[in-house]
């Protein structure tokens, strides 16, 4: 239980936070800066929290820069760039005496020490107020000792790609101006350069990908041959719809914005029936409307892929914020009994991988498969290696039908009747939402009912065999086991690395249902299990308890709409262990 060594006082990274109203350009600064830093050879991480409004309010983006891989947010702020007077109050509980605040004093109203940099005045000198953002990028690139040459090259590439070459010269000027300003601040000792790390740069990470969770799900879908998406826009799930729509022409994808979520899921089931690989993307409220459709997929034995990006409920809740509150919704959505699969990516790479699997398993087992993400996952990115594109043919489980084809053939031993589609062979494909016989015809024959129930539900045993096992990180001879699922992967991992206990391990689940068989063995070994979830009830620990019969007494839960912060979580884990003394 004792820490191996003392916590290092010095951090491995610089935590930069940009804060201001929507529409002030935070996103632009984040996008440019993170790419320039990555091209400089640094590891970067970015995430954002924002209000449900188009203009104004207070939004913030955190960027961590490091010479170590970083994949999680921290509460600590080393460098704050406030863009308006509401910004400092918005993050005040995250500021301490080490936080350096740099901003346009004129625009702020605070008793805290602010290093004055007049971004807008400098921008006007270049010719337009819009350059304030690029100046800020230059300043931050300078303070983090990023590579100005890479920065300039990135601007050239960025504006050429957008076919806006005319913006290149002045943006380069602005970048240089900001970079020089960083030099001035250090030279004039307005910023103590010892307060920042001098970080190593790595050439080989230059070509890493910086893509967020929404893009990773979208790419996973494309790589799995997804060619149909029907959805209704809803934060935070819309990114996937937008991504697939952007590339619809390149990859022969039909993308349809429907009148409601009910139409979305019914369309998608129709698309699978006609031979497409279809998905829907939605959030909790939308999924609530889709539940009857999920049940339809269950009885029709239609494949279905549902991306459910969670946000805090009930009802409209906090539309732009994050939570792991819809596991039970995904688990129980849809009346009647039928098997399903629920996947919950932890890393960006997982989002790509599990989405691929979702299509494969949906098709193979003819069941609905959920990909459970959240706002945090959608809006977060960090360095990852380029995804590999699956080689060979995409597995298709569609058969050519014979004249005597029966869609619900009972003469199969694994519950999976081969799936045909209309006009692909001599047979007819007849699907029914009523209980049906082998031909899909409505029936109330109770013998057949029993056989069909057993056939459908037996698929659960089949698909369980392939389930993603949970991943154990840390010592194998642990006494204490932290359990997490989905988006908390990097946060819990870094918190435990920080704590550096010799007897605490972390078990992460990227498949939450059916609960993988081996889970029980991991849980059995622990003296204390600490469940860490971004929700109020500890929904996954309840599911684990039901599936394994092992009680989980300690829970660390957060439900204010924000993800856990590494530093905050580390403290909580620490006190959870102290309180219980590492015992049940």
- CB of 83 or CB of 271, closer to another protein: 271
CA dist 171 and 159 (Å) reads: 9
* Cβ nearer to another protein, comparing 115 with 394: 394
CA distance 235 to 320: 6
Nearer to another protein, 209 or 308 (CB): 209
H/E element, 546: helix 539-548
**Rounded distance, CA 329 to CA 326, Å?**
5
263 or 341: CB nearest another protein: 263
Q: How far is the CB of 220 from another protein (least distance, A)?
A: 11
Shortest Å distance, C-beta 249 to another protein = 5
Beta bridge partners of 254: 228
177 to 122, 133, 430: CA distances (angstroms): 8, 11, 68
Q: Pick between residue 265 and residue 552 the one whose CB is nearest to another protein.
A: 265
We find the least distance from the C-beta atom of residue 300 to another protein, in angstroms, to be 8
Tell me the closest approach of the beta carbon of residue 17 to another protein, in angstroms: 25
Quickly list H helices, 301-347. Answer: 327-332
Shortest approach of another protein to residue 453 CB, angstroms?
A: 19
Nearest to 392, CA basis, from 223, 529, 533, 278: 223
Nearer to another protein (CB atom), residue 300 or residue 344: 300
Residue for token digits 């539940």? 291
DSSP per residue, 48-103: EE--S-SSEEEEEEEEEEESS---S--S--SEEEE-STTHHHHHGGG--TT-EEEE
> What is the secondary structure of 476-544 as a DSSP string?
TT-SEEEEEEGGGHHHHHHHHHHH-BSSEEEEEESEEESPPTTHHHHHHT-SEEEEEESSSS-HHHHHH
Query: How far is Cα 335 from Cα 124, in angstroms, rounded to an integer?
Result: 62
Q: How far is the CB of 269 from another protein (least distance, A)?
A: 6
Q: How far is the CB of 441 from another protein (least distance, A)?
A: 6
Shortest spacing between CB 247 and another protein, in angstroms: 7
- Torsion angle, CA of 141/142/146/147, rounded to 10 degrees? 110
DSSP structure class, residue 211 = -
DSSP string, 548-569: H-----EEEE--SSSPPPHHHH
Which of 91, 226 has the CB closer to another protein?
Answer: 226
In this complex, which beta carbon is closest to another protein, that of residue 247 or of residue 559? 247
Q: Nearest distance from residue 482's CB to another protein, in Å? A: 33
| Shortest Å distance, C-beta 155 to another protein | 12
- Angle of CA points 371, 308, 407, to nearest 5°: 65
DSSP state of 374: E
Shortest spacing between CB 284 and another protein, in angstroms? 21
420 bridge partner residues:
399
Nearest Cα residue to 535 out of 370, 353, 350, 344: 344
Identity of the residue, 424 or 497, whose beta carbon is nearer to another protein in the bound complex = 424
**Across-strand partners of 442?**
436
Q: Are 548 and 529 in contact (CB under 8 A)?
A: no
Q: Please report how close the Cβ of residue 141 comes to another protein at its closest, in angstroms.
A: 17
**Nearer CB in complex with another protein: 79/222:** 222
Cβ proximity to another protein, 412 vs 442, nearer residue: 442
Q: Which is it for strands 471-473 and 504-509: parallel, antiparallel or unpaired?
A: antiparallel
User: Nearer to another protein by C-beta: 442 or 553?
Assistant: 442
């Amino acid at each position: 239980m004792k820490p191996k060594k003392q916590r290092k006082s010095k951090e491995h990274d610089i935590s930069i936070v940009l804060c201001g109203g929507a529409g002030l350009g935070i996103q632009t600064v984040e996008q440019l800066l993170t790419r320039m830093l990555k091209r400089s050879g640094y590891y970067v991480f970015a995430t954002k929290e924002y209000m449900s409004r188009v203009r104004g309010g207070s939004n913030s983006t955190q960027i961590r820069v490091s010479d170590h891989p970083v994949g999680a947010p921290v509460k600590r702020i080393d460098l704050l760039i406030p863009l308006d007077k509401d910004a400092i109050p918005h993050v005040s509980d995250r500021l301490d005496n080490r936080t350096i605040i740099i901003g346009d004093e004129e625009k702020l109203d605070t008793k805290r020490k602010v290093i004055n940099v007049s971004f807008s005045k400098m921008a006007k000198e270049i010719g337009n107020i819009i350059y304030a953002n690029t100046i800020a990028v230059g300043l931050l690139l300078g303070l983090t000792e990023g590579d100005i040459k890479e920065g300039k090259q990135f601007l050239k590439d960025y504006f050429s790609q957008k076919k806006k070459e005319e913006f290149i010269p002045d943006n380069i000027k602005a970048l240089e101006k900001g970079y020089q300003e960083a030099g001035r601040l250090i030279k004039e000792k307005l910023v103590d350069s010892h307060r920042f790390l001098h970080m190593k740069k790595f050439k080989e990470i230059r070509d890493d990908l910086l893509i967020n969770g929404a893009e990773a799900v979208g790419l996973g879908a494309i790589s799995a041959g997804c060619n149909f998406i029907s959805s209704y826009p809803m934060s935070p799930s819309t990114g996937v719809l937008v991504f697939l729509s952007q590339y619809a022409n390149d990859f022969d994808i039909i993308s349809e914005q429907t009148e409601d979520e009910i139409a979305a899921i019914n369309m998608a089931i129709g698309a699978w029936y006609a031979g497409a690989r279809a998905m829907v993307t939605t959030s909790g409220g939308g999924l609530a409307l889709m539940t009857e459709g999920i049940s339809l997929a269950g009885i029709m034995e239609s494949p279905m892929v549902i991306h459910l990006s969670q946000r805090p409920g009930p009802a409209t809740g906090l539309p732009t914020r994050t939570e792991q509150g819809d596991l039970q919704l995904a688990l129980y959505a849809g009346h009647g009994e039928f098997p399903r699969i629920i996947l919950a990516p932890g890393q960006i790479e997982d989002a790509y991988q599990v989405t691929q699997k979702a299509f494969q398993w949906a098709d193979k087992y003819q069941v609905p498969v959920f990909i459970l993400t959240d706002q945090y996952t959608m809006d977060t990115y960090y360095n990852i290696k380029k995804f590999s594109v699956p080689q060979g043919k995409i597995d298709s489980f569609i058969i050519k039908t014979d004249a005597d084809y029966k869609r619900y053939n009972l003469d199969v031993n694994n519950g999976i009747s081969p799936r045909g589609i209309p006009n692909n062979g001599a047979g007819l494909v007849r699907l029914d939402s009523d209980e049906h016989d082998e031909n899909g015809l409505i029936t109330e024959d109770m013998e057949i009912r029993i056989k069909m129930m057993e056939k459908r539900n037996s698929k659960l045993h089949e698909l369980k065999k392939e389930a993603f096992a949970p991943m154990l990180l840390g010592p194998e001879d642990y006494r204490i086991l932290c359990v997490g699922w989905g988006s908390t992967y990097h946060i819990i991992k870094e918190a435990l690395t920080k704590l550096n206990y010799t007897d605490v391990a972390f078990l992460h689940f990227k498949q939450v249902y059916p609960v993988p068989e081996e889970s029980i063995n991991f849980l059995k070994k622990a003296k204390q299990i600490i469940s860490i979830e971004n929700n109020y009830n500890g929904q996954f620990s309840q599911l684990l308890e039901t599936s394994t019969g092992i009680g989980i007494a300690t829970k660390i839960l957060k439900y204010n709409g924000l993800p856990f912060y590494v530093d905050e979580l580390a403290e909580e884990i620490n006190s959870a262990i102290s309180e219980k003394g590492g015992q049940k």
